[in-house]
Amino acid sequence: MTGDPIGDAAPRYLTTFHPKRIPHFFTDVLVIGSGLAGLRAALAVDPKLSVLIVTKSNRRQSNSRYAQGGIAAVMDAEDDFEKHIADTLTAGGALCDPEVVRRVVEEGPACIRELIEWGTRFDEYEGRLALGREGGHSHNRIVHALGDETGKEMVRAVDERIAASENIAVWENTFTVDLLTYENRCRGAIVWNAAHGRTMVWAKQTILCSGGAGQLYRETTNPDVATADGWAMAYRAGAELRDMEFVQFHPTVLYIAGSSRHLITEAMRGEGAYLVDRNGHRFMPDYDPRGELAPRDVVSAAIVAQMEKTRHPNVYLDLTHLDPDRIRRRFPGIASICEEFKIDITRDRIPVRPGAHYMMGGVTVDWQGRTTLPGLWAAGEVTATGLHGANRLASNSLLEALVYGKHAGLGASRAASASRDDFTVPPIENPAVEPPHEPLDLIDIRNSLKSLMWR
């Protein structure tokens, strides 16, 4: 699927702007998004080049930060790459790119070692990395940190390196409205923030790391920033998108009527938690011999079927048969969240149901993170790399973000270094966008869209 920036169906740019009436900013490399992919991409750029990261919220607010379970990597002598590759291919429904899977999996151990060198405090047991197991994995290979706050800890460590890098600037609370293009090439982006309004940011190379789309759905694990704008701006600019039909729904989202939703990591099922229905029946073995450790798409479908069968709005995650002290140590964050709703995870069953979680599709990229639009690179959930196929294997997303973030950063760095510095602002044609005839109720439109997507 490719956007048509010069067609009559839609205007090229989302808003009207006059290039001579707004500020201009110049940088060697522009990174859009401050999740793990964006941060890693920025760090891969040659320190001699200037880098600007723009992020719509604060610099540590992203889907990456909320990752609980961990990052998948072959770190145990009894595990091997072939097993991780096979698990990934199986979960993806035979639609993964085998070569991409192999390359990403084989870079996993180096990613973990790098994070440790950068100060990430991964959990250990008897002097070695503590490795968990999640659905779809045939071996314990989930590296985790601070119990169930892996993403938060990884982002902290990487962001501290960003803060110490003199060539990297970060603009927080800055929304990227559109990619700037001229002569079929990405030239940067037009951004907006409350303090300065719109700014045209010109860059030799641009890396799109804008994250996911969970906020398109009524039920989601994603934070407010996951609004799919990266795909929209890439499409308007003419970049190719693919596999947009592949949306992953996480099986276990805390379901309390009237409250916000919270992800309940499947690492709990890896530790031995059961899924039971309203009658206390453990139902997953009825649907799949792997039980609670089946891949996410299988478990989500089973939960929906059991909800319909029992005529109940949710099922339950049951940890009451497990050692309470071990559970509290392993999942302190989830225990704290559940306590807000007077749920003791060691004594009470946790009400859960599926929610929109991750997009396998996105902007088409090659192994280097290069898109079909010259001058534009991409990494993270906004991309379609071929790693996940139709269904992502648990904890492969942080791994993909690190691997592709690094490669996209290196590629953009090489391209920017090879560009001349005698840059002149190209003429940007921006026909006026006709305003709506009636005032728009944006809240109503957003809620209607979420309900429609959920149905």
Which positions are annotated as active-site residues? 296
Q: What angle (nearest 5°) sits at the alpha carbon of residue 34, between those of residues 33 and 40? A: 105
* Secondary structure string (H, E, C) spanning 13-75: CCCCCCCCCCCEEEEEEEEECCCHHHHHHHHHCCCCCCEEEECCCCCCCCCHHHCCCCEECCC
Tokens standing for 118? 């950068």
The Cα–Cα gap between 219 and 200 comes to 35
Tokens standing for 164? 């110490």
Parallel, antiparallel or unpaired: strands 24-32 and 197-208: parallel
Nearest one of 24, 43, 33 to 63, comparing CA atoms: 33
The Cα–Cα gap between 111 and 122 comes to 13
Nearest one of 245, 328, 267, 241 to 130, comparing CA atoms: 267
Q: Say if residues 285 and 335 touch (Cβ distance below 8 Å).
A: no
- Dmax (CA) for the chain in angstroms is 71
The Cα–Cα gap between 73 and 300 comes to 24
Parallel, antiparallel or unpaired: strands 168-171 and 142-143: unpaired
Cross-strand partners of 131: 143
Strand segments, DSSP code E, in 55-148 are 71-72, 124-125, 128-129, 131-132, 142-143
The Cα–Cα gap between 248 and 57 comes to 24
The Cα–Cα gap between 396 and 28 comes to 30
Q: Say if residues 384 and 361 touch (Cβ distance below 8 Å).
A: yes
Nearest one of 191, 189, 152 to 174, comparing CA atoms: 191
182-205 core/surface letters (b: 16 or more CB in 10 A; e: else): eeeebbbbbbbeeeeebbbbbbbb
